[in-house]
Structure 1
């Protein structure tokens, strides 16, 4: 964290409108590089991570590429005939225990990484499992995204990722995407000497806004018990409790 950004963060934390030290944030870094290979995306993650931690938020960073994540929509693909091992339930457990999920990726051919796509597919496979209020399981959680690369695509990737998270139940705050792009084509990446990435005011500002807006929204949701369980419960709908709609199956 630069001296300027550190000073801004310290000043903002001193005047924070609420306490956030009971919140948890999970960064899923969908880099193609396995640990311990350098991930430039993790450099941008560190900006947000430092802001969260300065406010007492519990943080965790995971690289899904370090895990065995089979293709499929099952809860545990190792229980199928196609796969003998599936580490996804380990990641899903971390997701379930967090208040804020920041899905992070590099840009390849203008798209999010294949790892990021696999993560969203596996998350989608859990949407038929409901929470304790009878809503889809991710209601009440906050979602955001951080993106890096050496080619255009931040906004394109963000549109897809944030829509996907919203579609499965996440609440998306304002300014929920941020990132950094180097010169299009061969050139320095975010953490390379001389890239200008860590000093980039636009990236630092947007990532700061993202972190604070995630905390604000997660605070509001947690204090109010999440999204009200009214008009959004699949089992109630299936039972025929539909306001102003005829029930074609005549259920009671």
Structure 2
């Protein structure tokens, strides 16, 4: 294929990504979700992207929607020590398993804790997660993949993440107690549909993150909380706000 400006390989070096695996299994137990995550991570690293990842269930994360739940009655909370890793990443990918047709309890907990910081403003007066890109990866042996992806991607965009086209991928095995993604003979790692979607998702995350970085961040015009509070409205430019 002839390389045109639209198809030439871009430079993704300097970007960073964080994968949060919301499996119910503590390390080092095998996680089928991790198997799908590993495929996406391999693409990221092959393109010079710095990758960080952790399993949420390995940490003592309190339940709640505040940045630090020790200030709200909890004895311990490791989320404040994990949040800087979220904020350091240009790309956030939430991986999780499907249970009863819905996201795992750990996935919901992570989203709630992300939400707890969403009211904080960045240096441009925008909400904290502006300028970052989000996606999700899912595994399971029952229906619900699209439902779970819709829930995660809606949540991420609502708190400020930008979502590129086809920002989700996953693998569903035989409905019921059949083989899971990494089980011998499951066909999961060889599944062309899943592999294609994981690849497209990963590159689309990279493309959008690079576009935002190249623009100096997500444009701040018209979406600054500080400006709105100062009186800047569509019918009032408020020239006193700087």
Q: Does the alignment pair 1:75 with 2:70?
A: no
**In structure 2, what is the Cα distance between the partners aligned to 1:16 and 1:41?**
31
Residues 33-78 of structure 1: CA distance to partner in whole angstroms, max 9, x if unpaired?
A: 0110110000000110100011111112210111111111221111
**In structure 2, what is the Cα distance between the partners aligned to 1:119 and 1:244?**
38
Q: Tell me what 1:8 maps to.
A: none
Uncovered stretches (5+) of structure 2, i.e. residues with no partner: 1-6
Q: Tell me what 1:240 maps to.
A: 231
Alpha-carbon shift at residue 244 of structure 1 (Å): 2.1
Q: Does the alignment pair 1:57 with 2:49?
A: yes
Q: Tell me what 2:4 maps to.
A: none
TM (norm. structure 1) is 0.90
Q: Does the alignment pair 1:189 with 2:180?
A: yes
**SS state of the match for residue 93, structure 1?**
helix
**In structure 2, what is the Cα distance between the partners aligned to 1:91 and 1:105?**
18
How many residues end up aligned between the 2 structures? 234
**In structure 2, what is the Cα distance between the partners aligned to 1:17 and 1:201?**
22
How well do the aligned residues superpose, as a CA RMSD in angstroms? 1.7
**In structure 2, what is the Cα distance between the partners aligned to 1:44 and 1:200?**
11
TM (norm. structure 2) is 0.93
Alpha-carbon shift at residue 16 of structure 1 (Å): 4.9
**SS state of the match for residue 44, structure 1?**
helix
Alpha-carbon shift at residue 120 of structure 1 (Å): 0.6
Q: Tell me what 2:11 maps to.
A: 19
**In structure 2, what is the Cα distance between the partners aligned to 1:235 and 1:56?**
36
Uncovered stretches (5+) of structure 1, i.e. residues with no partner: 1-14
- After TM superposition, the structure 1 stretch with the greater mean CA deviation from structure 2, 19-28 or 192-201, is 19-28
Equivalent residue for 1:131, pick from 122, 129, 136: 122
Residues 155-199 of structure 1: CA distance to partner in whole angstroms, max 9, x if unpaired?
A: 000001000000000000111000000000011000000000000
**In structure 2, what is the Cα distance between the partners aligned to 1:90 and 1:67?**
10
**SS state of the match for residue 143, structure 1?**
strand
Give the alignment of 1:225-236 within 5 angstroms. 225-236=216-227
TM superposition outliers: structure 1 runs of 4+ over 4 Å: none
**In structure 1, what is the Cα distance between the partners aligned to 2:118 and 2:197?**
30
